[in-house]
Amino acid sequence: MNKFLFIIFVALSNAVAAQDAVQWDAVTEAHVGQELVVQGQVVRTYDSGKVTHINFDVEWQGKFEAIIFASAACDFRVAPADFFLGREIQIRGEVSKYKGTLQIIIQRPQDVWCTDGTQVAANALATGGFTTGDKLENGVRFISWNVENLFDEHDDPYHNEGNTRTTTESRKVRLATAINALNADVVALEEVENRGVLEDFNKRYLKGLGYEVVLFEGNDQRGIDNALLTRLPIRSATSYRHSEYVDAKGVTRRFGRDLLRVSIGGAFDADVYVVHFKSQHGDEKSDVKREAEALKALSIIQAELDKDPNYRAVIAGDFNEVLEMDESKNQLSVKFFIDAGLVDACAGTEKYTYNKKPYLSRIDFALCTKSLASEILKADIIDSLPGVELKCASDHYPVLVEFGVSDNGQEKL
């Protein structure tokens, strides 16, 4: 299609959309689940760091709005909060309802346009020609990363996915660019929708890294799971999703997501525990759940240490808590592990792992037993990589730890 015909095609498409457009204040609950083209004058925008809100009334509370998540906003050449303010726009998408408010989630720049013909410019999509970083010779490179809702386009009828949106192609490319560049031997992941999603991602984007996928379906109502990729031999894999324990209030609980344990052989010769503890949302109730999860996980590791003081293990993932929490608030989940003798691989760093304002903080950790910690060569929060904007890949940065190989570089059996 030549340029002239393409312009005519776009103009005709927009004309059809304009004819069929529904005014924003005419959207009702009867439209939930339907794909519509909705039109309105933008009178307010707000970028929270996680989400850009596009509103069509100054009294915006509880009224229809368009939202753009931060990772999708990265696909716009100009920040949506700045570009759309004051413009009349049309948006195409499925109407949904979140916490009582009707909305359309704008997934990509192609789903929104200005009625006056002003171009909505998009950043060029990366080609996906991934560069693989160097392997760590005579050692093991480990990373842990909350990849922020690695979801497919299919609605899961067995989970309440809520406001979770499909991972766009551009964000998958960003995630893959980073993972290929880091070229870790073992990768712990949080917020993966299911095994099929990760198998597909591994096959399409990580095929040169030689990973095997480990993932059990956990308990999270939204469907986010802990997972592991490894090219080192797997000795065993265990899910603790059915394990019960009692919290500080006397309530019997299970892990809100899961505690995934994978025993890795070869040069690593260690157990990896992947965690994603309860978030901060919910105040004291959440604190009680998170602390109970941490104590249960610690009890499992402590039992192994009681049998073998040289037990080699790392517990890594999203702890949803900073190390320096005010003890008067009884938020001690990370400190429990430190007090038990585990070593914070990134101790002393001033970097943060959660990268969305206003909550910039280090809530992702790799905590090692002393035997494994003695082999740490390097540990870092990866907040920049050539060729990829990590803030546009996930709302968390990866945690990287490199371990030396004992026994003169010979693989352990």
pLDDT value at position 16?
41
Has residue 212 got a pLDDT over 70? yes
Domain boundary among 114, 147, 171: 114
Phi, psi of 408 (to 5 degrees): 60, 35
pLDDT value at position 407?
54
Q: Which CATH number do you get for residue 224?
A: 3.60.10.10
Same domain, 74 and 167: no
Same domain, 78 and 199: no
Confidence of residue 326 (pLDDT cuts 50, 70, 90): low
Positive or negative CA dihedral for 167, 172, 259, 295? Answer: negative
Same domain, 378 and 297: yes
Task: Look up the domain containing 147 and give its range.
Answer: 139-409
Phi, psi of 7 (to 5 degrees): -65, -45
Same domain, 145 and 107: no
Does a structural domain hold residue 125? no
Render pLDDT for 54-79 as a digit per residue (tens, 0 to 9).
999 999 999 999 999 888 898 999 99
The closest of 201, 343, 142, 55 to 334, measured between CA atoms, is 343
Phi-psi sector, 175: left (phi>0), alpha (psi -120 to 50), beta: alpha
Same domain, 298 and 331: yes
Does a structural domain hold residue 181? yes
Render pLDDT for 1-36 as a digit per residue (tens, 0 to 9).
444 433 333 444 444 444 489 999 999 999 999 999
Render pLDDT for 136-193 as a digit per residue (tens, 0 to 9).
999 999 999 999 999 886 767 666 656 556 788 889 999 999 999 999 999 999 999 9
The closest of 391, 384, 275 to 333, measured between CA atoms, is 275
For the ranges 139-143, 371-375, 403-407, the lowest mean pLDDT is seen at: 403-407
Does a structural domain hold residue 320? yes
pLDDT value at position 166?
74
Residue 82's Cβ-side half-sphere holds a number of Cα atoms within 13 Å equal to 6
Selected residue with higher pLDDT from 71 and 282: 71
| Mean pLDDT score, 255-260 | 97
Partners of 149 in beta bridges: none
The mean of the pLDDT values for the chain is: 89
Does a structural domain hold residue 8? yes
DSSP conformation class of 275: E
Same domain, 267 and 377: yes
Count of C-beta atoms within a 10 Å radius of residue 265 = 16
pLDDT value at position 327?
54
Selected residue with higher pLDDT from 343 and 125: 343
Confidence of residue 358 (pLDDT cuts 50, 70, 90): confident
Render pLDDT for 215-224 as a digit per residue (tens, 0 to 9).
999 999 988 9
Same domain, 50 and 168: no
In the chain, how many domains are there? 2
Confidence of residue 380 (pLDDT cuts 50, 70, 90): very high
Same domain, 178 and 303: yes
Same domain, 159 and 30: no
Has residue 103 got a pLDDT over 60? yes
